[in-house]
Amino acid sequence: MLTAVVGINWGDEGKGRIVDLLSRDQDIVVRYQGGNNAGHTVINEKGEFILNLLPSGILRDDVVCVMGNGMAIDLHHLHGEIEKLREKGIKISPENLKISDRAIITMPYHVDLDCFEEERLGGAGYGSTKRGIAPVYSDKYAKKAIRTGDLFHKEYLKEHLKSILDFKNLTIEKVYGKQGRAYDEMLEYLETYGEEFRDYICDTGVYLRRANAEGKRIMFEAQLGALRDIDFGIYPFTSSSNTISAYAPIGAGIPGIKVDTTVGIMKAYSTCVGAGPFTVEMEGDEAEALRKAGGEYGAATGRPRRVGAFDVVASRYGVCVQGSDKIALTKLDVLSYMDKIPVCTAYEYNGEIINDFPVGEVLEKAKPVIEYVDGWGCDISGCRSFDELPANAKHYVEFLEEKLGSKMWLISVGAERDAYFMR
């Protein structure tokens, strides 16, 4: 059984929390794209954890985690992330963590280039996390990337690195007027971490195909959401990889095997980290109240998230491109302070009502059509069934279901591991 857990919107929907919850019934959890620009927060009996590279299943002792070929892996960051988890008693070894030998490596010069370009763009930047993601994926498709499997072949690695670094430094020095990276420094970087992770790196495709044939339960964990997908998101304000569930087997290393179930995650309201169109965005005191109620600050960056009303148009599109069979609604409890809850049910552009998610200038200039639903005004974090919800909370969920044409399979009412129920 192969299950994908994906984001429906702009990212930060609560995927880490849901993956942690659902991973109790899984044998293997796989990250299949993205890098350490991810920020998946998990709270359990051992404490609060923010995971950037490692799959959220790493917090369960009996789950094997895989970092797939579709990922971009910053080895220095991975080292630090593992050490922090070990300090909190999390066991990590080649037995429960496997890294694809086809995954690309995010190098220090990728981070440099990311920062230099955002600096050059100034206020017109794309909202990068400045962790080298766009430059390393650019190199992947330009065939100038270093893969983890290259670390096993030292002479090849030396020659490959020299060729790449000469080109990268040319860009850094001649385009940005900055100091390039020294060859010896970069080689030492690769050799040091290559030795550290040698026993973790393998052909994850072989491992996963064998596991699937044995009937193992495999879960794919996405980074970001549908609207940040490089093909189907709010281009150019997207990530540099495919965040949709259809890419999961490809990015994991088993492209010939289909996903059985896709669980789409959405919040009970909208949030967005980074630049780009965000039709439902709130401003001022209204935004700050929602941001504080939901603790809406980026797990990877610490930046305040942009917040807004639930967006039916964007969410319906996200459900469609993700091919979601089941929907998980997170953070319903956050809205308990509102007397009237806004919901964007359509967009308006030049006097025309738009129900299908647009692109380009239309998306940039569209205005939200807002309807209001009565709030419930009480704490719901202790509810463990739909029937226990106040009438107005039930109505809000049913209102969203009607507008989306999708039923909520799981509803989260708090940050704790057990603060949820299924329908």
In the DSSP assignment, the letter for residue 373 is E
- Residue whose entry in the numeric block shows the structure tokens 């044998």: 27
Cα separation values, 277 from 104, 234, 343, 361, Å: 30, 7, 17, 10
Q: Which two tokens stand for residue 133?
A: 């993601």
10 Å CB burial of residue 214 (0-12, 13-18, 19+) is: exposed
Cβ atoms of 218 and 211 closer than 8 Å: yes
**Residues whose CB falls within 8 Å of the CB of residue 367, separated by 6 or more in sequence, listed in order:** 279, 347, 348, 349
Q: Which two tokens stand for residue 138?
A: 């650019």
Report the C-alpha gap between 418 and 124 in whole angstroms: 42
- Residue whose entry in the numeric block shows the structure tokens 């001022």: 284
β pairing state of 367-374 and 340-349: antiparallel
- Residue whose entry in the numeric block shows the structure tokens 């609060």: 48
- Using only the alpha carbons of the chain, give its radius of gyration: 22
Nearest Cα to Cα of residue 241 among 116, 131, 163: 131
Cβ atoms of 397 and 309 closer than 8 Å: no
In the DSSP assignment, the letter for residue 297 is B
Dihedral over alpha carbons 9, 11, 12, 14 (to 10 degrees): 60
Active site positions, annotated: 12, 40
